[in-house]
Amino acid sequence: MTTSEALFERALRVAPGGVHSPVRAFRSVGGTPIFFESAQGATLRAVDGREYIDYCQSFGPLLLGHRDPDVAREVEAAVNTAWSFGACEPYSLELAEFITARLPWVEKLRFVSSGTEAVMSALRVARAATGRHRILKFEGCYHGHADGLLVKAGSGLAGVAAATSAGVSANVAAETLVTPLDDEVALRSVFAEYGNEIAALILEPLPANYGLLIQRRQFLDEAVRVARAHGALVIFDEVISGFRVALGGMAEVLGIRPDLVTYGKVIGGGFPVGCYGGRRDLMDQVAPAGPVYQAGTLSANPVGMRAGLATLRKIIEVNAYRTLKIRTADLCRRVEAGLKRDGLPFRMARCGSLFWLHGSNGAPIRSVAAIPAGHGERFARIFHELLGRGIYLAPSGYEVGFLSLAHTDEQIDRTVEAILEAVRITSG
């Protein structure tokens, strides 16, 4: 029995499924999860001493890599100053001023402790501001585990949703409407039916929770236009893409100004930080300024605030986005060239420093329905081949990979060869 297997046996006795977030359990790829004891830069070190080049990067927050030395110095200073106040402090003010000074669509913001909490709060603001009760989301976009968002498209009427989790009541699920990505006709149909009941349209402008489903600009423009034509607010969920594809996320890339936006991951520098923000009049609905209640004991934790600000400052200082875009494009182009040379029907989707390996007939994948049958099973085999070569991806074929500034040319070279070998072996 390996060290990880022994630890997992113990974990199964004290935690549901042995984990504290489902994808960590390796259920979709099979096998026993690896337990890691340390990390540095682009490398994870397992409890058995083996090292892996990490393209999960804690599912996206670590744009600079694990334990970046400049951020680490700020974290050490923070820990030696205070762990938590439960009172006003200057650190969240500095980070809030940094963000609002650079993102004109964020006139005010509120820090919370997770992306789920940020989305839940933004939706509450939208309902209060519009006096409407329904939310429209897209199939394939994930917005956290609040009850009303754990839904999928149901059968029957356009937009009607069904719960994807036990414990979500039919009444709660019914308040969320669901429509496919990349389908303007379905979008218009839902608004034609329910437009005067929809408080907000929420979407990932870069869907990256069910593969990397890069959307057509025309579709995103139409979604925003139709929502506003019916008096619904537009909420961008940029928990993944915010401060990852650009400082201003996809709102900056697209030049679209959302009414509300949610962030997480990168803004905490690896610590549990989220926030929601947007138009001043909407954010002034939040208590104590307004009637929308939201609170959090550890919101704006000083360690996360200082780590987040140090991360964002360094990102700008070193022009991280340009470097990451070049390195990610290089990795993906080299992999695709090898796949094409060997006649293997796989492709690499990429945007900024995000990438996703998938089977393909050559057409871009923009919706859940377009993902090839058997994708998950094929990825599971590739995943374990890569593990054997010292490469760690997120343990699900529907999660994306992330490059960090810490990945070196040598590590990228190793990764390209490992991916090509893994795909060849599993395709035989």
Q: Is 21 exposed, middle or buried (0-12, 13-18, 19+ CB in 10 A)?
A: exposed
Q: Is 265 a catalytic residue?
A: yes
**Across the strands, what pairs with 351?**
354
E strand residue ranges, 271-366: 274-278, 346-351, 354-359
For residue 219, give every residue at least 6 positions away whose Cβ sits within 8 Å of its Cβ, in sequence order, or none: 181, 182, 183, 184, 366
Sheet (strand 198-203) strand order: 108-112, 274-278, 260-263, 233-237, 198-203, 134-139, 176-180
Phi-psi region of 17 (alpha: psi -120 to 50; beta: other; left: phi over 0): left
The token pair at 69 is 């030395």
Q: Which of 91, 237, 276, 321 is catalytic?
A: 237
**Across the strands, what pairs with 261?**
236, 277
CB atoms within 10 A of CB 97: 11
| Eight-state DSSP code of residue 34 | P
The token pair at 160 is 């009607």
Q: Is 237 a catalytic residue?
A: yes
Sheet (strand 51-54) strand order: 36-40, 43-46, 51-54, 391-392
Q: Which of 142, 210, 321, 392 is catalytic?
A: 142
Taking Cα atoms as reference points, which of 252, 248, 404 lies closest to residue 325? 404
Answer whether 228's CB lies under 8 Å from 234's CB. yes
Taking Cα atoms as reference points, which of 250, 244, 308 lies closest to residue 57? 244
**Widest pairwise Cα distance in the chain:** 63
Q: Is 325 a catalytic residue?
A: no
Catalytic residues: 142, 237, 265
